[in-house]
Structure 1
């Protein structure tokens, strides 16, 4: 028995009209009529009496309608549960760059849990390259990392964070309370947070003419450690602004104002395998950054 024919029958009875049923199902009225005729032919009986624009049930139609309505409800419930299983898993595995797990994940997770209260979330932190590899190998469902492109990966930029220069509030460069030239930075020790990305390589090259590399006392790939060294007044450091918002608010870090406007940013992307079916979880995370 064709489920679409049953659906047309139930809708016609519910609305009392072929025309209204057609509109509700986004079909033409002839299509609804054809489905009803097909159902009546299959059952070898007349289910509906047509009276102008209105219709009413025959005796056989009255007897058959409760069963048809039950079948349609069971079908819709089964379809809903199937879609839930297909698109909203019990667990989501998220791979994050270390900086992302520290700063963005605490912002994402509360909203994700409110939207999908039964969802279990597994977070795995590593360098962007390692997370990227895990996404490719389907070891995680999605990754939130610095911008990387690959033909097998679908990528959406969710954050474009400006890179600035930061120091301890007690540092002499902050106490001057004026814009600093790049050349003047050679008078201060530098902590270089090595982000291993084209944008950060650009920062390094920008500083080459003034031989700033000679003033680098620490090269470090951990952002939290870099910030702690800056707080201890060991040096000044270029960092993405999304990573220092709490410190700026609390007054434990301060931005160094430069005469040269450095247009460098860190782009954070949400990535997943291009061949995977669309997921409402991934779509929801994207909306948090629109």
Structure 2
């Protein structure tokens, strides 16, 4: 068994494609296939199921993938320990849900790169469930999400406390509502735009509504949109109200495009988390990035 065979196998699993793995490693597809076949013969197991359109990892392949990742990561540790130039690019592969990727990560990455100028990032974006799935599929190493999963394979580190607010069109009707008693109850009778399922913001909003004994089925939901910017624009055009991160709504509120309401004594908070696999072996650079992110914001209760 050789390292280059394990490298080929890991790329096939992560990219779910022989051709993409070949392109990534600057090899031919027959060479990649030969490496996988050699591993299967040596271990006397089927590692991947091949079809004309997909590549699916077998249970044995999943086990080998875990070992192969650890072996390759140990190799990188050795390069770093002895000051040799690593054969791997100085890259960190991450994924973020909407709020972290659009409003938090640009700030974090910019600050981190001032200390590590040669590093570059590969960033994927989706909702919280997408990020968690990508971690479990070994497609990304570090995730940033707005919801904590109970999966025993994952570690969640809180790094930011996000405040949710209610935003409304900047119209006289809503200015009057915001000045009335029972503001929250009156606002929630208005047409409302919610996030789609899988969103951490939606789950936090639902928990808040439940705490106020407000049934989601009784809300006048006029749209479900999974893009914060589209929601803000829709609210600014008078479609209805919405519940979203204060950090994401701040710019439109400051520009006078929307009104922002923070329930007095009824603040809606949620934590944002760094997520990764418990068994994951990180390079020194990845460890440094996680430590940097976890301590960058000091306004979170540890």
User: What is residue 276 of structure 1 aligned with on the other side?
Assistant: 280
Measured in 1, the distance between the counterparts of 2:173 and 2:100 equals 31
The gaps in structure 2 that reach 5 residues or longer are 1-78
Measured in 2, the distance between the counterparts of 1:281 and 1:186 equals 41
2:294 aligned to which of 276, 286, 290: 286
Shift of 1:193: 2.9
Quick check: 1:162–1:265 contact (8 Å CA) kept in 2? yes
Measured in 2, the distance between the counterparts of 1:165 and 1:157 equals 24
Measured in 1, the distance between the counterparts of 2:176 and 2:94 equals 42
User: What is residue 106 of structure 1 aligned with on the other side?
Assistant: 106
SS of the equivalent of 1:242 reads helix
User: What is residue 240 of structure 1 aligned with on the other side?
Assistant: 245
Measured in 2, the distance between the counterparts of 1:217 and 1:190 equals 6
Shift of 1:251: 2.4
Measured in 1, the distance between the counterparts of 2:288 and 2:294 equals 10
User: What is residue 168 of structure 2 aligned with on the other side?
Assistant: 167
2:227 aligned to which of 222, 231, 238: 222
TM-score w.r.t. structure 2 length? 0.61
SS of the equivalent of 1:93 reads strand
Q: Which runs of 4+ in 1 moved over 6 A?
A: none
Identify if the C-alpha distance between structure 1 residues 90 and 178 changes in structure 2 by more than 3 Å, giving closer, same or farther: same
CA RMSD of aligned residues (A): 2.9
SS of the equivalent of 1:81 reads coil
User: What is residue 58 of structure 1 aligned with on the other side?
Assistant: none
TM-score w.r.t. structure 1 length? 0.63
Aligned residues: 211
Shift of 1:273: 1.6
SS of the equivalent of 2:112 reads helix
Measured in 2, the distance between the counterparts of 1:120 and 1:209 equals 45
Q: How does 1:95-134 map to 2 (within 5 A)?
A: 95-134=95-134
1:201 aligned to which of 206, 218, 225: 206
User: What is residue 148 of structure 1 aligned with on the other side?
Assistant: 148
The gaps in structure 1 that reach 5 residues or longer are 1-76
Measured in 1, the distance between the counterparts of 2:262 and 2:127 equals 30
User: What is residue 64 of structure 1 aligned with on the other side?
Assistant: none
Largest Rg, 1 or 2:
1
Measured in 2, the distance between the counterparts of 1:237 and 1:125 equals 22
